[in-house]
A and B are shown apart, each in its own frame.
Chain A
């Protein structure tokens, strides 16, 4: 079933349709994927890889083929943290990593995580540079060794990504990976979103996926949703903790039954790393880059409250009736937004390790020690909702 390179739609469609009528064939996501590739096994642990294990993995990685990887990373937003974790995973596995962060090393944006923690990358052997995606060559310097793999985590449309893709192709990169978005799926009555489902053709990410499918023999696209994890550049669970620690009600739009994927970023990194180490298995494929469990808004509040040692206090509201924009009043899309990582499990033998109740405890510990819970904060939209 390993597909040779083909267009995104055809690959994804045949991935889905290949299941039809297929009973009694031997399993393709066999346990041998996991045991042959210690990365996936190691990724189960939450702690960063210990030196002893890196050494062991370095030996195996060399056997598997040490790669030179360039990660072109956005300088802000929800995706910023992905490049940070991916770099760490690849470094621990013995690969050579360069991180090109968009913009200026001196910009204020670099004071925020994960950029403020880049010493963790450089001390592990990464090269960190800054520059413009429209001139990757200038940023990474000419005359150096070519990159085997280029990962673009820099943009959501061709304006941002085409120059990177074009440069990568000209520079002879063997594999191009794109961090896309599960937000491009067309809403549907039938869930979850699986690879191959219809996407919004006008979405910038879709344009990028189609472009790279046409340009590269070996490409893959990863579609994430929401992430938690230390070093995140964008709030996620903090929105809930902010209210819970101040004894405030948590306003939830609608019924609170809406399902979404909240994934620990280590899972995204492990999936991308598996693709780097298994280019043949990843080639031509789309991967929903999410954990294998969805959570309801209600459930998320309960888990955040439990992590904070508090009782959940939810107030439901109808955004239209109250007169607020749900996009501003709540951190997640006010609808089911639910994808499953079926392709990664099947083709890469990837396993999800996100365990929200446990992960949120760790997140709360960091939140609590940060002092954010004591800061003055205004809750204007909340107050409007609660007084309605």
Chain B
């Protein structure tokens, strides 16, 4: 596999980064500019010997958008299997016309519904593929026909989820930890089990929360909406719950690194950011990323409210984070983006340009704020912890900083 030095020149950003948002950029972004380019860019000639016929299940929404570009740049033939409801390719913010044309001219499309197992089996066996990246598979039944159709498959690379881990008081989650057969991600678990049981070279990647430009899950977007509206950020509980975000481009890089890698054979890897963050800390990091002032954070007890079907906060109300040490030590891969850099990248290329997936909905915020208005806003005080600049409500002594 092509060796990677650092990823210096930009695919998706014209240089320098400050072209986009000028004064709203944080200092850290300006001095430590992070840019991302698919690994193979400088190795195109050599890569043709290693060129694979790759099928990506999905690939038009988020992870696959970045992964497919990376794979095409590395000289592989990439086919996206989608129903064709969304455009097969879209020009990314910051991507030059020439680069986009190069990519869109090379990537292939196989139109179909992966739930139509007969179609999957016949179309895949007709075409034959060396490697499958399954980015949107949820249930084991969806994967079986693919394996049946491709008996000589060199590798099945699956996007699973750290959501499979059984909740624990001992953290972080390691790949060897107990999994929860009742979790809402049990389809991912069953898929991993199926892969293990079949005679196929498989790799499973378990991301935590993924973020970055084009995120269709309102993770950073949820914070950006509130920050832009100048609204307080309602955070459940003490706000010291710890979560973990991983940039989509780092995830794509990791997916690229396991391709043809013997160390990835029949292995599971947690892939996410190198550090974890508290809920309160994430609100502050989003503010920094978008050049907003320090946010007002309001803590509330979710049990005091009935939000109905609406989600009042985008993260599970618990600690949830996983160690990426296995990927670091076995694949030699570490994330390029730290949290503020990554959120800044997302802001500059997406929300900061006025694009987002979900309209702002402050219904649950207003329920929380209406109830909290008197007690919270009248009595804010600075946090007493050494070196902490946070502000908090009357109830907390410090905020798990």
On A, residues with C-beta under 8 Å from B are 19-29, 186-192, 194, 200, 253-255, 257-259, 292-296, 298-300, 302-303, 318-321, 326, 334-336, 340, 342, 345-346, 356
Contacts and interface: CB of A to CB of B under 8 A. Distances in A.
Given A21-B5, A23-B332, A259-B319, A326 B170 contact: no
A188 B383 CA distance: 13
A296 B238 CA distance: 14
Given A19-B334, A189-B282, 5 more contacts: A258-B400, A300-B169, A318-B395, A318-B396, A318-B397
A106 B241 CA distance: 49
Contacts of A342: 325
A115 B397 CA distance: 39
Contacts of A326: 397
Contact of A335 (B7, B282, B331, B385): B385
Contact of B169 (A19, A190, A302): A302
Of all A-B residue pairs in the complex, the 10 with the closest CB atoms, nearest first, are A299-B169, A189-B281, A21-B6, A19-B334, A23-B4, A25-B332, A23-B333, A255-B238, A190-B275, A320-B397
A19 B335 CA distance: 8
Contacts of B39: 23-24
Given A258-B400, A335-B400, A345-B325, A190 B332 contact: no
A296 B318 CA distance: 11
B86 interface: no
Contacts of B388: 187
B41 interface: no
B275 to A, nearest CB: 4
Interface in B249-308: 253, 257, 274-278, 280-282, 284-285
B254 to A, nearest CB: 8
Contacts of A319: 397
Interface residues on B, range: 35 or more
B335 to A, nearest CB: 8
Given A334-B397, A342-B325, A189 B332 contact: no
A55 B6 CA distance: 48
Contact of A257 (B6, B237, B284): B237
Contact of B240 (A258, A294, A318): A258
Instruction: Determine the main DSSP class of A at the interface with B.
Output: loop
A255 B279 CA distance: 14
Contact of B242 (A321, A335, A336, A346): A336
Given A21-B4, A23-B253, A187-B387, A293 B171 contact: yes
Nearest to A300: B169
Given A259-B242, A318-B397, A189 B170 contact: no
A257 B387 contact: no
A191 B278 contact: yes
A259 B3 CA distance: 38
B26 interface: no
Interface of B: 1-7, 39, 168-172, 237-238, 240-242, 253, 257, 274-278, 280-282, 284-285, 319, 323, 325, 328-334, 336, 339, 385-388, 395-398, 400-401
Contacts of B238: 254-255, 257
A307 to B, nearest CB: 14
Contact of A295 (B169, B253, B325, B333): B169
Given A24-B3, A293-B171, A192 B385 contact: no
Given A23-B257, A187-B388, A336-B400, A194 B1 contact: no
B207 to A, nearest CB: 17
Contacts of B172: 293-294
B387 A191 contact: no
A168 to B, nearest CB: 32
Contacts of A300: 169
Contacts of B2: 24
B334 A187 contact: no
6 contacts: A19-B328, A21-B7, A318-B396, A335-B398, A335-B400, A336-B242
A334 B276 contact: no
B334 A192 contact: no
B275 A194 contact: yes
A13 to B, nearest CB: 13
A334 B386 CA distance: 12
Given A187-B386, A345-B325, A345-B329, A336 B170 contact: no
A376 B235 CA distance: 44
Nearest to A294: B171
B396 to A, nearest CB: 7
Contact of A189 (B278, B333, B395): B278
Contacts of B400: 254-255, 257-258, 335-336
B255 to A, nearest CB: 12
Contacts of B7: 21
Nearest to B280: A189
A335 B5 contact: no
A200 B387 contact: yes
Contact of A24 (B4, B169, B170, B237): B4
A334 B39 CA distance: 44
B154 to A, nearest CB: 19
Contact of B333 (A24, A188, A302, A335): A24
Nearest to A292: B323
A20 B385 CA distance: 31
Contacts of B237: 255, 257
Interface centre among A255, A326, A334 (most CB of B within 10 A): A255
A190 B281 contact: yes
B325 A336 contact: no
A241 to B, nearest CB: 18
Given A189-B401, A191-B276, A255-B238, A20 B319 contact: no
